[in-house]
């Protein structure tokens, strides 16, 4: 019984945290991309979010993204104007060495335009992140329409 | 289909929704009233039972007014709080709760928060993409109004040039918010702390002169007194951020070693995009925390969104209850004049004519109640806005928008359609029995 309890304890999600999960982590020149995700949608556009850490020695600019089958994505920022949230396209944003930049809903995102098919929750999207350090292929998890974070958000990978 | 709808102009979407909501009502009306003139009889019924009818209309109006007034108020509060935070693009504080820091720095809600040192301030103020780095020092008050230490550039950024007087130019001068009951040239001694336990005599010997008044901002800063940050430090017996050889100069740059500390730095970036890079750069574990008040508010609104949904559900339930009461009321009211209707039927009036009279009577009451309800809602929203503005100093301007009008139209359409039921019931009653009553 004691061994069974220990086995269950170590198998619990709390102990699973901290384990590396390569499926959610992507890297190029010291730039780590964690948990890229988007919401399921029927529209022809979507917002992509992620956590970006610059573990390298030089600043890296985040430029935008594109899907493997063509649609382009660009950085957009959300800001309050006249008491309402508005969206503005942004130029490349630098991430200094040792710093992180979080792309989160209603704050900062990459907007993908020209989607030809609905995005279905549970599936993923192949995309290419465009940075000043080069192009990085990432898997963007498609979360539910109402999700506000990646399913594994909060886990340290 | 969704994209076609989204491509339509807002006024066209609103118009189509209104047509969709009122369509069934107009269709029923056209079918029932075609070829008849029931309105003289309807008018007579309305006048004959005017007090009962008036109560009925008031019941509907109060119900609609409460529902849309509360929804409009929630939206007004949300927009008001967001507008009050618009001048605060980026706030840098010591690590802690973003919400607490935002309430303290943006809405001037007193809180004991750790201080940032002069080196942190210097690093932020010297950044290429920082246009304004304003230290905010609070903790003192005057007759309940917070006395906030800052720099002159922040006063201009917050409210523009003073509408009266000028900006402070030396330590010991103050620019007051638009709602402060002081005049240019008045002098006061700040109390240490806030509220009932503020120490009125803690800073005896220091006098601050009012030299300017800010235009209204619609934020709690309208009820604040802004003084040079150096003055705040000096009245507390601290260094004032400058070397002795600098004389009476106020404002940045400050000497980091002589900078006593600030709870928050309000940052204005040179360009919008730079805010994101600055937030990233100024967020350092254990050192500083940078955040957008707009994003914190947005998170708060998301939680409030659940409350809004609950309010909408409560409002809908309320409308359903009132709709049920309306139907019951129409049943009761139709009994009041069933003898007259039986007489009409005995004289050979067509059944559709009787139906149109009873339905027209019910719809008249519903229409009057809905129109009055919108007026009540507008009045309730205005009254609540004034109360909330007085209590929070956040300018709340709630108004009735198309979404509230849509809610009222939906109520009118549904209840008008349902009021066919009492009208049909009238026709099922035996004529002879009704004539004997």
Point out the domain boundary residue: B232, B261, B291.
B291
Compute the distance between CA of residue A25 and CA of residue B259 in angstroms, rounded to an integer: 42
Residue span of the structural domain in which B264 resides: 90-291
What does the mean pLDDT of chain B come to?
87
- CB-based contact B82 A83, cutoff 8 Å: yes
Whether B259 and B152 map to the same domain: the answer is yes
Point out the domain boundary residue: B242, B263, B291.
B291
Residues of B in contact with A99 (CB under 8 A): 280-281, 283
Q: Which residue of B has its CA nearest to A100?
A: B280
Nearest-Å Rg of the Cα atoms of chain A is: 17
Judge whether B277 is closer than 8 Å to chain A, CB to CB: yes
B3 inside domain: no
pLDDT of residue A153: 66
B126 inside domain: yes
- CB-based contact B272 A108, cutoff 8 Å: no
Across B328-348, average pLDDT:
82
Q: Which residue has the tokens 């919108």?
A: B374
Residues of A in contact with B82 (CB under 8 A): 80, 83-84
Q: Which residue of A has its CA nearest to B83?
A: A83
Whether B237 and B270 map to the same domain: the answer is yes
Backbone angles phi, psi at B146, to 5 degrees: -65, 140
- CB-based contact B280 A108, cutoff 8 Å: no
Q: What is the pLDDT of residues B92-147, one digit of tens each?
A: 999 989 999 999 999 998 788 889 999 999 999 999 999 999 999 988 999 989 99
> Can you tell me the ipTM of this complex?
0.77
Whether B210 and B118 map to the same domain: the answer is yes
pLDDT of residue A131: 94
Whether B15 and B58 map to the same domain: the answer is yes
pLDDT at A20 exceeding the cut of 80:
no
Helix (H) or strand (E) holding A13: helix A13-16
pLDDT at B4 exceeding the cut of 70:
yes
Whether B112 and B226 map to the same domain: the answer is yes
Its pTM stands at 0.76
pLDDT of residue B300: 84
Q: What is the pLDDT of residues B189-247, one digit of tens each?
A: 999 888 777 777 778 788 999 999 999 988 899 999 999 999 999 999 999 899 988 88
pLDDT of residue A112: 92
Whether B266 and B306 map to the same domain: the answer is no
Point out the domain boundary residue: B291, B316, B341.
B291
Q: Count the domains in chain B.
A: 2
Whether B192 and B102 map to the same domain: the answer is yes
Whether B245 and B103 map to the same domain: the answer is yes
Whether B270 and B339 map to the same domain: the answer is no
pLDDT at A44 exceeding the cut of 90:
no
B170 inside domain: yes
Whether B170 and B287 map to the same domain: the answer is yes
Q: Give the 3-state secondary structure percentages of chain A, helix then strand then coil, rounded to 5.
A: 10, 50, 40
Residues of A in contact with B275 (CB under 8 A): 77
- How many Cβ contacts (< 8 angstroms) between chains A and B? 65
| Cβ atoms of B182 and B189 closer than 8 Å | no
B2 inside domain: no
B1 inside domain: no
Whether B278 and B383 map to the same domain: the answer is no
- CB-based contact A84 B79, cutoff 8 Å: yes
Number of CB atoms found within 10 A of residue B259's CB: 26
Across B283-287, average pLDDT:
81
Residues of B in contact with A75 (CB under 8 A): 273
The vertex-A114 CA angle with A113 and A120, nearest 5°, equals 90
Choose the weakest-confidence range: A122-136, B173-187, B395-409: B395-409
B391 inside domain: yes
Whether B69 and B161 map to the same domain: the answer is no
B4 inside domain: no
């Amino acid at each position: 019984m004691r061994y069974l309890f220990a086995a269950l304890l170590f198998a619990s999600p709390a102990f699973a945290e901290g384990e590396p999960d390569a499926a959610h982590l992507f890297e190029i020149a010291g730039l780590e991309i964690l948990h890229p995700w988007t919401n399921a949608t029927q529209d022809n556009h979507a917002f992509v979010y992620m956590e970006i850490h610059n573990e390298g020695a030089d600043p890296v600019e985040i430029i935008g993204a594109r899907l493997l089958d063509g649609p382009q994505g660009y950085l957009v920022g959300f800001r309050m104007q006249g008491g309402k949230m508005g969206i503005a396209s942004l130029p490349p944003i630098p991430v200094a060495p040792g710093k992180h930049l979080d792309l989160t809903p209603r704050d900062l995102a990459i907007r993908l335009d020209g989607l030809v098919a609905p995005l279905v929750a549970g599936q993923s999207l192949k995309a290419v992140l465009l940075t000043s350090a080069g192009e990085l292929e990432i898997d963007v998890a498609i979360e539910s329409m109402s999700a506000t974070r990646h399913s594994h958000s909060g886990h340290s990978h | 289909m969704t994209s076609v709808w989204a491509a339509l102009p807002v006024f066209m979407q609103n118009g189509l929704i209104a047509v969709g909501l009122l369509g069934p009502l107009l269709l029923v009306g056209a079918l029932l009233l075609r070829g008849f003139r029931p309105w003289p009889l309807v008018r007579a019924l309305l006048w004959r039972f005017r007090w009962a009818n008036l109560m009925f209309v008031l019941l509907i109006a109060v119900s609609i007014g409460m529902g849309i007034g509360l929804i409009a108020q929630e939206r007004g509060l949300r927009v008001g709080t967001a507008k009050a935070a618009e001048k605060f693009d980026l706030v840098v504080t010591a690590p802690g709760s973003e919400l607490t820091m935002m309430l303290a720095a943006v809405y001037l809600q007193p809180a004991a928060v750790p201080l940032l040192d002069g080196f942190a301030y210097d690093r932020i103020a010297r950044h290429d993409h920082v246009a304004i780095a304003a230290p905010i020092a609070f903790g003192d008050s005057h007759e309940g109004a917070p006395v906030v230490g800052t720099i002159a550039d922040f006063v201009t950024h917050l409210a523009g040039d003073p509408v009266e007087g000028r900006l402070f130019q030396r330590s010991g001068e103050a620019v007051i918010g638009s709602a402060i009951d002081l005049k240019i040239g008045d002098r006061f001694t700040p109390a240490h702390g806030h509220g009932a336990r503020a120490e009125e005599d803690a800073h005896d010997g220091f006098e601050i002169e009012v030299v300017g008044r800010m235009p209204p901002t619609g934020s709690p800063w309208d009820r604040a007194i802004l003084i040079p940050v150096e003055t705040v430090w000096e009245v507390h017996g601290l260094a004032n951020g400058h070397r002795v050889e600098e004389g009476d100069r106020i404002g940045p740059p400050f000497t980091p070693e002589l900078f006593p500390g600030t709870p928050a730095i309000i940052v204005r970036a040179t360009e919008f995009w730079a805010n994101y890079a600055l937030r990233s750069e100024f967020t350092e574990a254990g050192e500083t925390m940078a955040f957008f008040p707009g994003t914190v508010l947005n998170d708060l609104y998301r939680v409030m969104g659940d409350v809004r949904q609950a309010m909408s559900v409560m409002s809908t339930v309320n409308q359903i209850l009132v709709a049920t009461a309306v139907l019951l009321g129409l049943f009761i009211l139709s009994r009041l004049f069933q003898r007259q209707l039986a007489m009409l039927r005995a004289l050979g009036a067509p059944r559709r004519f009787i139906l149109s009279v009873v339905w027209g009577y019910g719809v008249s009451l519903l229409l009057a109640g809905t129109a009055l309800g919108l007026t009540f809602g507008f009045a309730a929203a205005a009254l609540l806005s004034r109360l909330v503005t007085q209590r929070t100093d956040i300018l709340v301007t709630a108004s009735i928008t198309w979404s509230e009008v849509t809610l009222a139209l939906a109520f009118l359409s549904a209840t008008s359609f349902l009021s066919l039921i009492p009208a049909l019931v009238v026709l099922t009653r035996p004529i002879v029995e009704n004539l004997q009553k």
